[in-house]
Amino acid sequence: MDSTRQNKISRLIQKELSDILLKLAKETRGIMVSVSIVRVSPDLGIAKAYLSVFPSDKGNEVVEHLNNNIKAIRFELGNRVRHQLRIIPEIRFYLDDSLDYIEHIDELLKD
Q: Work out the percent of the chain whose per-residue pLDDT is above 90.
A: 33
CA distance 35 to 10: 11
Question: What class, spelled out in words, does domain 4-110 have in CATH?
Answer: alpha beta
CA distance 43 to 6: 9
pLDDT tens, position by position, 55-105: 878 888 888 888 888 899 899 999 999 898 888 999 999 988 777 777 778
- pTM attached to this predicted model: 0.81
